[in-house]
Amino acid sequence: MMFKEKKKMEIKEELVRMGEKAREASKILANLSSEEKNKALEEMALNIEKNAQKIKEENIKDIEQARKKGLSSALIDRLTLTDKRIAATSKGLREIASLEDPVGKIESMWKRPNGLFIGKMVVPLGVIGIIYESRPNVTVDAAGLCLKAGNAVLLRGGSEAIRSNCILVDILQEALGRTKVPPESIQLIRTTSREAVTLMLKLDEYIDVIIPRGGESLIRTVVENSTIPVIKHYKGVCHTFIDSEADLKMAEDICFNAKVQRPGVCNAMETLLVDKEIAKSFLPGMIQKFKQAGVEIRGDEKVREIAPEVKLATEQDWFTEYLDLILSIKVVEGLDEAINHINHYGSHHSDAIVTKNYLKAKKFLQEVDSAAVYVNASTRFTDGGEFGMGAEIGISTQKLHARGPMGVKELTSHKFIILGEGQIRK
């Protein structure tokens, strides 16, 4: 007991020191020019490329440990840093550098009858705490986006990626040592103790906002325990609805991509909704294609009338983010039932309709309450890079302070500036 208490105290002291350094670094970052921040991003990109082999060596150790623990193939995929993914992280940093810097911009200015000019200036949030699982590329994306927006960042990755995250942060900090950006602008909590998360969530003196990225249990833990404002990157129960007036070949391609291309990510389709009018013509071929790709199908009774071998879906299945090659399928009466199903069972992440009918597409866009709503495209595009943001720090499924993929602009706030000529209030 005494050892645990001591260990907890040591972790707390270390986190406080990190918070203090991050706070000081954020003050310097907030006042750096775009050129200075962009130079730092370029140095970070170059250092990742220079040390790609070291990154792979540490990542392999994480993968080997994950396999020993019996983690699913989808989770191991999220953990893996291939040459292509490492190259994508450095490319992402350069794309972030190429973006317009919002910090210091005057968004609007107006004149009051008393002669005062009042405006809104974009400013950094300050210190951002990010808690995430599995994907070590998030380490680089988050660091780059926070830096560009003038924020310091405290990172707490999952234990399964600890070696990968450590080497990445070492490489990024080394690069910052050659720039005007303090290396303490990017820090990683290197203990795998769960106590670290609980203690981190109480550092409201140093951290301005917490952004969790991970499974439902992680998000709930963060929301329930944090004394710091939280921007939720909640689960992705994403839907695709195939309307009776859909191009069925297009629908098949979209559905297959949305489920199979990378099933372990939050923008992958988890539930397929099919209009009853085209269910018998569309589902047999679609289900066969899914099966050939190793997808387990769970369907309602109407689906099982068409494909009796399909496992019966439960009520819980409609709420579930599988992050795996598992798919729920439901036959619906039409557009209204599809929209009602999505708004009830979905997580307000990304949902799509496939249709040639303009009015149905418009109704779907208006009435589906999600961060990203698609017409005739795969939900897999909900991503900061795909949206032209360079990268993303997360996909917010709430409406405050941001919604959808969070890029540089979403990592800022504003302050009012008032210009006067001696006015006093009467």
Locate tokens 């944090």: which residue? 226
Give the count of beta carbons closer than 10 Å to the beta carbon of residue 48: 23
CA distance 15 to 196: 8
What is the per-residue pLDDT across 247-284, written as a single tens digit (0 to 9) for each?
A: 999 999 999 999 999 998 899 999 999 999 999 999 99
What is the per-residue pLDDT across 355-369, written as a single tens digit (0 to 9) for each?
A: 999 999 999 999 999
pLDDT grade, residue 298 (50/70/90)?
very high
- Residue range(s) in the chain whose domain bears CATH number 3.40.605.10: 2-231+406-419
pLDDT of 372 above 70:
yes
As a whole number, mean pLDDT of residues 172-182 equals 98
CA distance 111 to 39: 38
CB 365 within 8 A of CB 335: no
Closest CA to 161 of 52, 75, 84, 89: 75
What is the per-residue pLDDT across 134-158, written as a single tens digit (0 to 9) for each?
A: 889 999 999 999 999 999 999 999 9
Q: What mean pLDDT, rounded, does the chain reach?
A: 95
What is the per-residue pLDDT across 47-88, written as a single tens digit (0 to 9) for each?
A: 999 999 999 999 999 999 999 999 988 789 989 999 999 999
Closest CA to 241 of 358, 330, 307, 362: 330
CATH 3.40.50.2000 for domain 2-231+406-419: no
CATH level 3 topology of 238-381: Aldehyde Dehydrogenase; Chain A, domain 2 (3.40.309)
Looking at the whole model, is its pTM more than 0.75?
A: yes
CA distance 19 to 313: 47
- Residue range(s) in the chain whose domain bears CATH number 3.40.309.10: 238-381
